[in-house]
Structure 1
């Protein structure tokens, strides 16, 4: 059962409900179609700005606010639709107030400070390696809080996520916990897949900067693309061979990973380990979709819904490489040696 608690009341007189969580959006969201009046004849009163808690089968999945109320009536009908998002949505919408600069802070320390400014808690509960402290990290005035967090995480191949109730944490896509297997004929109610070659190419060539005779070049090939479909990328920041090669290999991997996306529907909102949630790796097997051998896929989004078919969970599954960050290719600035001062000895003598 999906229950909504707000203004000291429990709202359960709804005709349609959907709760969504995704690795692509830090804030979970919800949408409810309610009857205009409850069983006691009282008018439903949920307005933008009201704080709410949404629970699925007794487990809180969203702690947030109502963003929108839409209501209408006609002959014989009166509808109310309420939608909103988790409280972490504020860091996606709003700018950092202060501070705008940090020194000798690790990534998780900066994220904790940013989150605290919006009343959110942060913990690195999965013990993700955050690397060394930043000697200095700063943002421009007007920088969005989430953009700052994403910038910090992307450089180190880490995702910043929320658990739906305002607790922010870090996730490494290639080391996610495992979930239950999804198998055609067993627990898959329905499934679909899109295969595409639109953004894939037979070869990837990346040029860095340098003189005409000394340009650094990196190449990579996709053996699954049989036609001649070359792609050339100019990376003006790359000056080293390993940087352009890493970029070429990444272009090949990321485009291949994004060329297929699966949707799966299962009965209920829970599996044997608890509620379905994004950020788990599932073994997927569906011969009707040409997946005849088990394929490890990452659950990137989860939609809990209730309607005519009862409790349904819709999963979006992708290859973990989809979230692999683009390799860093910034120019390495050489430190110039200071020029010798021919008058140094004279100045020292004059100054005594």
Structure 2
């Protein structure tokens, strides 16, 4: 048997044991998923000795399925969750065990909020609503931003998951729902904290720089349309298509309320009566996008929704990524939803980005690597839905 080449920087407390001899580690926390995840691999010395008398003895005992797991990195608690998969694997002379799972909030994405439902809450704040829905799972809820006034009525459908129910109401308050990885659910907004260090490439500790800059999901113009109750059930006249006008010219007239462009602007009281418009001036070719308001609203609400769409699509079209070594920089571990200043001469960027995802990986050949997925600061700005 070769000497141990794994890491003891990660310790996992599970079923009364503290395990800290890992041959492979992969811990992911990302804003695109409510819950963080982990995959930990160890040499299973108990099974190894039971199968082969010449197996090397060690300190690691068996892992148990569906147990609570507390993972610390360099002595700092980083993720608390459940062991959801246990995979034993043996070859001649050696046995390994892989344990994987998600943090505590994984159950919120899977499970029904009100199986006895539908359920209705009256005069409840977002924190209280989330707290009551999370309480049966033993998950705490905290907010680090103002979550606004109470809801007069909050209805939960029988088949709705806990996460879906909370996010539906959080959007009405412009609040981002995420996991803090350790204690439970966090009601916040994007970029409330800063990363432990800036990133400079070329620079010490930065092993790789890459990016995806894309206009695939960006548009030149964003239109949001809706109807007032007065206009409900009625339709506007179709805009005339004439060889003498371009789409851009018809839009200009439409926004200006020119009667020559169908029943544009303020004259459209009999049909689509609410209009919001925003432009992405970096998209030079004609690429219009139209969305309908999700609920009854105002012209101001339509305009805010159009501006939100432009802002978020643009920010998500910027996705730099950097591989760093080691996991801890200047006394802090990398975490998602923090702003970081990036000065990268290769990518030609020198500004703040939002850490959307962190992937902490260890293997015996490459040691510790922290892969950061970055996006524009506005990429996870929550959309404010009308109540």
3-state secondary structure, aligned to 1:246? helix
Q: Deviations over 1:121-144 (max 9, x none)?
A: 2222x3x11111111212111221
CA contact (8 A) 2:360 2:371 kept: yes
- Where do residues 43-58 of structure 1 align in structure 2 (5 Å cutoff)? 44-58=61-75
- Where do residues 86-235 of structure 1 align in structure 2 (5 Å cutoff)? 86-97=103-114, 100-124=119-143, 126=144, 128-177=145-194, 179-187=196-204, 188-209=206-227, 210=231, 211=234, 212=236, 213-214=268-269, 215=272, 216-235=274-293
Alignment CA distance shift 1:118-1:239 (3 Å): closer
Alignment CA distance shift 1:316-1:77 (3 Å): same
Alignment CA distance shift 1:237-1:91 (3 Å): closer
Query: Structure 2 CA distance, aligned partners of 1:57 and 1:236?
Result: 46
Query: Structure 2 CA distance, aligned partners of 1:56 and 1:243?
Result: 45
Query: Structure 2 CA distance, aligned partners of 1:181 and 1:197?
Result: 27
3-state secondary structure, aligned to 1:220? strand
**How many residues are treated as equivalent by the alignment?**
326
Query: Structure 2 CA distance, aligned partners of 1:71 and 1:40?
Result: 17
2:339 to 281, 288, 309: 281
Alignment CA distance shift 1:27-1:206 (3 Å): closer
3-state secondary structure, aligned to 2:300? helix
Alignment CA distance shift 1:165-1:329 (3 Å): closer
Unaligned residue ranges in structure 2 (runs of 5+):
1-8, 47-55, 237-267
CA contact (8 A) 2:176 2:188 kept: yes
Alignment CA distance shift 1:316-1:74 (3 Å): same
Q: What is the TM-score normalised by the length of structure 1?
A: 0.84
Query: Structure 2 CA distance, aligned partners of 1:131 and 1:105?
Result: 11
1:36 alignment counterpart: 44
2:78 alignment counterpart: 61
3-state secondary structure, aligned to 1:322? coil
3-state secondary structure, aligned to 1:232? strand
Q: CA RMSD, aligned part only?
A: 2.4
The alpha-carbon deviation at position 252 of structure 1 amounts to 1.6
The alpha-carbon deviation at position 329 of structure 1 amounts to 5.2
2:371 alignment counterpart: 314
CA contact (8 A) 1:88 1:166 kept: no
1:19 to 24, 27, 30: 27
1:240 to 298, 301, 315: 298
Q: What is the TM-score normalised by the length of structure 2?
A: 0.77
